């Protein structure tokens, strides 16, 4: 059963004051193509410049690192900087270029997925591996002055000027702990930027590519090609997290660079602001792809899963194209592999169940390859590819359905044990699990891995395409995911949403210019950092944004003595039925996502906020639940990496006080105030005014004395 979203009969509880909804509305503008560009064919046509998901910037620089498997999808972002050639081939032109590795059946329509096309011959108009006007892979235009190279090309988007970068390319992928949905430029991978601008021939452009990941280390996943092409060629972030372990809030954080309390997307429902009119009006015009397109002159491309409620009739249907996207191929609603509808630049396109033309991962791969083949060489580009795999329903391609027959879910020390001293929702899980429950989650784990093999193929095809066109060395590729996943930890069935490491930790891989291969980084990073990083590489002044995240650029360059965060905020607002779940009437009202044995994954009062701290002295997680229990969970991950023992009763009371104040401050932070020193940093100081900077006064919810009742 699908675990994201909720039954139509359920309703989300009204947002709390900490998650104040934004105003309703929403409309955008169409991205006008340059006058010299011939209108492209129906497959890839200019789209309303609003959106996120998969972005392909003309800048060529790939950032990417895999980190594991997650429950939603994989994301791939690519952003490239390079000198444009003198030739322009309109995207989706009548003469399609056959791509041997694209996995498209002979004679299949553009963008179709399925069988390989090894028997297809070279198209007479196929562009050679060398881009006209370039030599080798350097991307320099003949006769051009020596330009700046490496990370952080200044001047591309300085002082609000719209500047057209040469062929930049960026890729970002999402990481997860378990094999769940992998998406390129969809759930977690998105890219896209602005309208045309003046050329800067002395400045090589960069491209960005964002690809979704899962939260399992690539060395422990089926994605061997992704590991070799991104992780081993760049940097792997070992401590990458999401501020909310659920698809829609996490994806919104990627797009906006903000915590959920600032973008107001609190769960997967329209009532929770997931792709609502309010989201469309207030947040979409200010996403990093929208800034890339409007302020930095990028051509942007999105393909795959966007937000869970995208395409809902109450929010404009599939005709709505978010601002910031030149080319838009978004999945209606939540994850599917067959029998789905795509919004193709605002027009509905229905797909069936024929593998050769309808398998979604392959369709997204072929659309992405088409974009790379026919994009303008006079503008930088950004791509975001968001594959639902390995999200449920876990439908593998036919050739992979028998893979991994001996694979089972990991049996860590927190597998199939009781969640003692935890919030009631965790304690209600039946322990030990039945044999049938264990067989179910092992089967789900295998199927997730099987779906990821097609994502692995997608990454390989795109990297090879960049290499053939001489753009790979000047493209950043990011690979990550929108959340983690649990499979039997604390006897919980498959899902996410919870505060623990297995749900909030994701993979993040990055490769690109100036990034040394086979590197690891232990800094504490979050998906709110992706937008600031890409804008920083493009040269945009981050002081002009209200983003909560930090640019990863200094870490990617390997700068020494970088001042970095030691903590970040995790927050979630639970979903539930107003009435009893029909499958588990004895549990009473307020729960949802219940399994046949009445183990429920969510409830109204599964609403919590945490400070995740990682410093030289502490590896700590402090969480408060918004319920009548005034429940608190605290974990020392140095001594207890699997979070088995809640130490809220035994930890030093002074530390509890500090963490409580820090949590209040982070829940009210906005922009720069979200980046102040943590409680264990030398520069930390308590300033009560910071707690009231955004959403008003939040009274201290409990005293030291009340903690004794936990």
How far apart (Å, rounded) are the C-alpha atoms in residues 598 and 523?
39
pLDDT in tens, 513-563: 999 999 999 999 999 999 999 999 999 999 999 999 999 999 999 998 899
User: Residue 143: is its pLDDT beyond 60?
Assistant: no
Cα 547 from chain centroid (whole Å): 16
Look up the pTM and report it: 0.74
User: Residue 629: is its pLDDT beyond 70?
Assistant: yes
Mean pLDDT of 696-707: 36
Residues 191, 262 within the same domain: yes
Residues 250, 313 within the same domain: yes
Tokens representing residue 607 in the block: 């609403």
CATH number at residue 219: 3.40.720
Q: How confident is the model at residue 627 (pLDDT cuts 50, 70, 90)?
A: confident
Mean pLDDT of 365-372: 98
How far apart (Å, rounded) are the C-alpha atoms in residues 222 and 593?
28
Residues 661, 695 within the same domain: yes
In a domain, 66, yes or no: yes
Please report which residue ranges of 596-668 form alpha helices under DSSP H.
653-667
Task: Give the pLDDT confidence score for residue 322 in this predicted structure.
Answer: 98
Residues 481, 602 within the same domain: no
Taking a C-beta distance cutoff of 8 angstroms, is the pair 581, 600 a contact?
Answer: yes
Distances (CA, A) of 642 to 415, 419, 431, 482, 502: 10, 11, 17, 21, 9
Domain that holds residue 669: 574-709
Task: Give the pLDDT confidence score for residue 707 in this predicted structure.
Answer: 39
Tokens 């997931």 belong to residue: 274
Residues 553, 596 within the same domain: no
Tokens representing residue 40 in the block: 């492209």
Mean pLDDT lowest among 8-22, 208-222, 575-589: 8-22
- Spell 390-400 as b/e; 16+ CB within 10 A means b: bbbebbbbeeb
Nearest to 655 by CA among 697, 710, 613: 613
**Domain end (from 530, 564, 598):** 564
**Domain end (from 504, 530, 564):** 564
Q: How confident is the model at residue 35 (pLDDT cuts 50, 70, 90)?
A: very low
In a domain, 91, yes or no: no
Q: Quick one: which H or E segment has residue 79?
A: strand 73-80
User: Residue 2: is its pLDDT beyond 50?
Assistant: no
The question of whether 56 is a catalytic residue gets the answer no
Residues 498, 594 within the same domain: no
Q: Is 261 helix (H, G, I), strand (E, B) or coil?
A: helix
How far apart (Å, rounded) are the C-alpha atoms in residues 444 and 393?
9
Residues 547, 673 within the same domain: no
Taking a C-beta distance cutoff of 8 angstroms, is the pair 253, 536 a contact?
Answer: no
pLDDT in tens, 172-212: 333 333 333 333 322 222 222 222 222 222 223 334 555 44
Handedness of CA 500, 5, 336, 444 (dihedral sign): positive
User: Residue 236: is its pLDDT beyond 90?
Assistant: yes
The total of structural domains in the chain comes to 2
Task: Give the pLDDT confidence score for residue 686 in this predicted structure.
Answer: 74
pLDDT in tens, 245-262: 999 999 999 999 999 999
Task: Give the pLDDT confidence score for residue 95 in this predicted structure.
Answer: 30
Q: Higher model confidence: residue 403 or residue 55? A: 403
In a domain, 686, yes or no: yes
Instruction: Determine how β-strand 619-625 pairs with β-strand 608-614.
Output: antiparallel
Q: Higher model confidence: residue 324 or residue 204? A: 324
Residues 448, 527 within the same domain: yes
Distances (CA, A) of 681 to 7, 622, 689: 45, 16, 19
Residues 249, 286 within the same domain: yes
**Torsion angle in degrees (nearest 10) through CA of 235, 239, 243, 244:** 100
User: Residue 241: is its pLDDT beyond 90?
Assistant: yes
User: Residue 159: is its pLDDT beyond 80?
Assistant: no
Residues 558, 584 within the same domain: no
User: Residue 89: is its pLDDT beyond 50?
Assistant: no
**Domain end (from 518, 541, 564):** 564
Mean pLDDT of 408-435: 95
In a domain, 145, yes or no: no
In a domain, 92, yes or no: no
Percent of the chain whose pLDDT exceeds 90: 58
Task: Give the pLDDT confidence score for residue 81 in this predicted structure.
Answer: 52
In a domain, 27, yes or no: no
Residues 470, 492 within the same domain: yes
How far apart (Å, rounded) are the C-alpha atoms in residues 342 and 189?
17
Q: Quick one: which H or E segment has residue 238?
A: strand 235-241
Q: How confident is the model at residue 55 (pLDDT cuts 50, 70, 90)?
A: very low
Residues 520, 555 within the same domain: yes
Cis upstream peptide for 393 (omega within 30°)? yes
Q: Is 247 helix (H, G, I), strand (E, B) or coil?
A: helix
247, 274, 600, 610: which is the annotated catalytic residue? 247
Nearest to 531 by CA among 557, 549, 546: 549
Mean pLDDT lowest among 153-157, 505-509, 625-629: 153-157
Instruction: Determine how β-strand 198-199 pairs with β-strand 163-164.
Output: parallel
Q: DSSP secondary structure string, 536-595?
A: HHTT--GGGS---S---HHHHHT-SS----SEEEEEE---B-SSB-TT-GGG-BTEEEE-
In a domain, 257, yes or no: yes
How far apart (Å, rounded) are the C-alpha atoms in residues 399 and 403?
8
Nearest to 308 by CA among 334, 284, 331, 328: 334
pLDDT in tens, 445-499: 999 999 999 999 999 999 999 999 999 999 999 999 999 999 999 999 899 999 9
In a domain, 662, yes or no: yes
What is the average pLDDT value for the chain, to the nearest integer?
Answer: 75
């Amino acid at each position: 059963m699908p675990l994201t979203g909720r039954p139509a009969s359920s309703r989300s509880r009204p947002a709390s004051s900490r998650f104040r909804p934004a105003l309703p509305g929403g409309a955008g503008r169409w991205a006008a193509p340059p006058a010299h560009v011939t209108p492209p064919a129906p497959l890839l046509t200019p789209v309303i410049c609003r959106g996120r998901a998969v972005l392909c910037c003309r800048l060529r620089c790939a950032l990417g690192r895999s980190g594991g498997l997650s429950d939603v999808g994989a994301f791939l972002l690519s952003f490239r900087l390079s000198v444009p050639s003198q030739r322009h081939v309109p995207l989706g032109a009548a003469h399609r270029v056959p791509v041997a590795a694209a996995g498209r059946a002979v004679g299949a329509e553009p963008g179709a997925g399925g069988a390989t096309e090894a028997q297809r011959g070279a198209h007479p108009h196929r562009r050679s591996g060398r881009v006209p006007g370039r030599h080798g892979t350097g991307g320099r235009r003949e006769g051009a002055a020596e330009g700046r190279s490496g990370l952080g090309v200044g001047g591309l988007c300085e002082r609000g000027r719209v500047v057209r970068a040469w062929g930049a390319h960026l890729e970002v992928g999402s990481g997860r702990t378990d094999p769940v949905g992998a998406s390129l430029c969809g759930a977690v991978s998105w890219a896209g930027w602005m309208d045309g601008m003046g050329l800067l021939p002395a400045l090589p452009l960069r491209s960005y590519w964002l690809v979704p990941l899962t939260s399992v280390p690539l060395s422990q996943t089926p994605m061997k090609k992704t590991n070799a092409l991104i992780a081993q060629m760049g940097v792997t972030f070992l401590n990458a997290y999401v501020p909310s372990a659920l698809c829609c809030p996490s994806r919104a954080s990627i797009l906006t660079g903000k915590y959920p309390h600032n973008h107001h997307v609190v769960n997967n429902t329209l009532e929770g602001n997931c792709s609502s009119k309010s989201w469309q009006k207030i947040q979409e015009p200010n996403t990093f792809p929208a800034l890339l397109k409007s302020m930095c002159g990028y051509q942007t491309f999105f393909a795959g899963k966007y937000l869970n409620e995208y395409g809902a009739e109450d929010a404009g249907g599939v005709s709505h194209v978010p601002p910031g996207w030149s080319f838009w191929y978004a999945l209606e609603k939540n994850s599917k592999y067959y029998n789905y509808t795509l919004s193709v630049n605002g027009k509905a396109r229905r797909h069936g169940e024929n593998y050769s033309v309808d398998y979604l991962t392959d369709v997204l791969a072929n659309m992405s390859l088409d974009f790379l083949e026919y994009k303008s060489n006079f503008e930088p580009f950004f791509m975001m590819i968001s594959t639902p795999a390995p999200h449920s329903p876990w439908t593998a391609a036919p050739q992979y359905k028998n893979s991994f027959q001996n694979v089972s879910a990991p049996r860590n020390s927190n597998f199939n044990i009781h969640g003692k001293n935890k919030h009631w929702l965790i304690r209600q899980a039946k322990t030990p699990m039945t044999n049938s429950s264990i067989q179910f989650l092992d089967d789900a784990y295998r199927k997730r891995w099987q779906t990821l093999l097609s994502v692995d193929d997608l990454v390989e095809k795109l990297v090879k395409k960049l290499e053939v066109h001489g753009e790979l060395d000047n493209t950043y590729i990011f690979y990550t995911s929108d959340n983690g996943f649990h499979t039997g930890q604390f006897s919980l069935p498959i899902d996410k949403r919870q505060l623990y490491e297995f749900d909030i930790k994701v993979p993040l891989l990055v490769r690109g210019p100036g990034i040394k291969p086979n590197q690891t980084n232990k800094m504490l990073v979050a998906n709110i950092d992706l937008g600031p990083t890409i804008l920083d590489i493009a040269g945009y002044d981050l002081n002009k944004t209200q983003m909560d995240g930090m640019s990863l650029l200094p870490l990617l360059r390997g700068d020494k003595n970088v001042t970095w965060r030691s903590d970040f905020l995790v927050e979630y607002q639970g979903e539930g039925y107003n009435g009893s779940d029909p499958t588990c009437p004895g549990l009473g009202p307020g729960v949802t996502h219940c399994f046949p044995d009445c183990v429920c994954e969510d409830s109204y009062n599964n609403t919590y906020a945490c400070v995740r701290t990682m410093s030289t002295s502490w590896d700590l997680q402090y969480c408060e639940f918004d319920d009548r229990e005034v429940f608190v969970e605290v974990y020392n991950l140095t001594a207890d990496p699997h979070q088995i023992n809640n130490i809220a009763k035994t930890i030093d009371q002074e530390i509890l006080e500090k963490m409580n104040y820090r949590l209040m401050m982070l829940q009210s932070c906005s922009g720069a105030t979200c980046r102040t020193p943590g409680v264990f940093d030398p520069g930390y100081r308590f300033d009560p005014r910071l707690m009231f900077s955004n959403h008003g006064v939040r009274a201290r919810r409990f005293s030291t004395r009340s903690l004794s009742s936990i």
